Amino acid sequence: MTSLTVPPIRVGIDGRKFPRASELGPIKLIERCAELGHEGVFFRTVLDVSPTLDRGFLRAVKQRADDFGLYLEMGLGKINPYNTPEAPEVRDVGKGDYLLGMTRMIEATTEIGCTALWGDTANYQRHDWGLHAIDRYRTDVTWEDQLDATRKFLLRLAPVLKDHGAVVAIETHEEITTTEIVRLIEAVGTDVAGVTLDLANVVVRGEDPVAATRRVAPYVRKTHMRDLILFERPMGLERQIRAIGDGLIDWQAVLGALFAAGVNPNFTIENVWGPDRNQIPLFDPDWQARQPDAELGEILELIRLSRLFEAAVRAGTMPPPDDYYSVQADLPELEGFVERSARALKSAAAALAAAKE
């Protein structure tokens, strides 16, 4: 028996990637979320909901979520000044002033009760550029300089965040390690920054999802949840995103790490459809040289997981990468990714609760 308390969990949808999200618009998307039995919507940025920060419309969106008893989450966007040119919509809101744009977004989101605000440090450039598809490997500026600029920007934003009781929840994205995120939080304070936990991304940095969760657990304020498989490639491994329960992540261990830290965020399923893959060139000396926090034990765990997957493919219990996604998925299949994920996540929570009894 363990003293771990396993609370009920709430599982919702990603307001940008859910099927037909742009077609439905925010209010109809909330209604579709409720119709399907999901428990909330995480809009990536408040500008996805209202590009002009229309207060009346934002209140209407909040009211519709409240009508169904759904959680409502929102975010800000890019917090790395070297990356902000790729978010012109934020600068537009500030009439040329990016900091003012962010300030106005914080004011608008907190007025409707959204205070844990998603942010990320860079883009994953979806091109066949090898290491250079990830902004960590830019050659015009070092990653260390990007992290330092991000820290300074968060400190400039800190007074606004504190005045409104908000924090930037930094995503565990492909370019940044969980150790680097923890350092940023320690540098700016937990009243300024927290974490959006996305475990499908941490493996790209050579991190074991369970170990990564334990590192950031006390700071987790939001989540993007999906599963993954790993398989061998000549220079290391390759990742493919899958629905929760169809992959390799130990979800009981992940939930246990969060609950042990006293954290129970909303669990938002970030659905994908198609061959969402990333190379993880573990054996590339350049990759190794730019991973100063890499832990050998975690890299070996990723290799072990890839071997488990390959054994499962041989046994016929898991489909190989090329067979997992339909060439042209229909709406039930697309929405089913989220439904399966939600069911599997709640099953993991129930199994964890049963194990404690």
Percent of the chain with pLDDT over 90: 89
* Local structure of residue 248 (DSSP, 8 states): S
The model's pTM is 0.96
Predicted pLDDT of residue 203: 97
Of residues 193 and 327, the one with the higher pLDDT is 193
What's the burial of 200, exposed, middle or buried (CB within 10 Å: 0-12/13-18/19+)?
A: buried
CA distance 349 to 85: 41
The answer to whether 121 and 79 have CB atoms below 8 angstroms apart is yes
Predicted pLDDT of residue 313: 98
The answer to whether 108 and 72 have CB atoms below 8 angstroms apart is no
* HSE (side-chain half, CA atoms, 13 Å) at 139: 4
Compute and round to an integer the Cα radius of gyration of the chain: 20
Instruction: Read off the pLDDT of residues 291-312 as tens digits, 9 standing for 90 and up.
Output: 999 999 999 999 999 999 999 9
64 pLDDT above the threshold of 90: yes
159 pLDDT above the threshold of 50: yes
* Local structure of residue 281 (DSSP, 8 states): -
CA distance 164 to 166: 5
- At 237 the three-state DSSP class reads strand
127 pLDDT above the threshold of 70: no
CA distance 208 to 232: 16
Alpha carbon of 151 to those of 9, 173, 182, 280: distances in Å? 32, 16, 12, 27
Predicted pLDDT of residue 273: 77
Predicted pLDDT of residue 1: 39
Average of per-residue pLDDT across 321-328: 90
Q: Sign of the CA dihedral 267, 110, 108, 160?
A: negative
CA distance 205 to 198: 12
What's the gap between Cα 300 and its chain centre? 24
Q: In the chain, count H helices and then E strands.
A: 14, 12
Predicted pLDDT of residue 124: 76
**Spatial CB neighbours of 154, under 8 Å, sequence gap ≥ 6:** 79, 168, 184, 188, 192, 193
Q: Which domains does the chain have, with CATH numbers?
A: 11-227+243-275+327-356 (3.20.20.150)
Instruction: Read off the pLDDT of residues 143-157 as tens digits, 9 standing for 90 and up.
Output: 999 999 999 999 999
Instruction: Read off the pLDDT of residues 250-307 as tens digits, 9 standing for 90 and up.
Output: 999 999 999 999 999 999 999 887 767 788 999 999 999 999 999 999 999 999 999 9
CB contact burial 146-166 (16+ within 10 A = b; e otherwise): bbebbbebbeebbebbeebeb
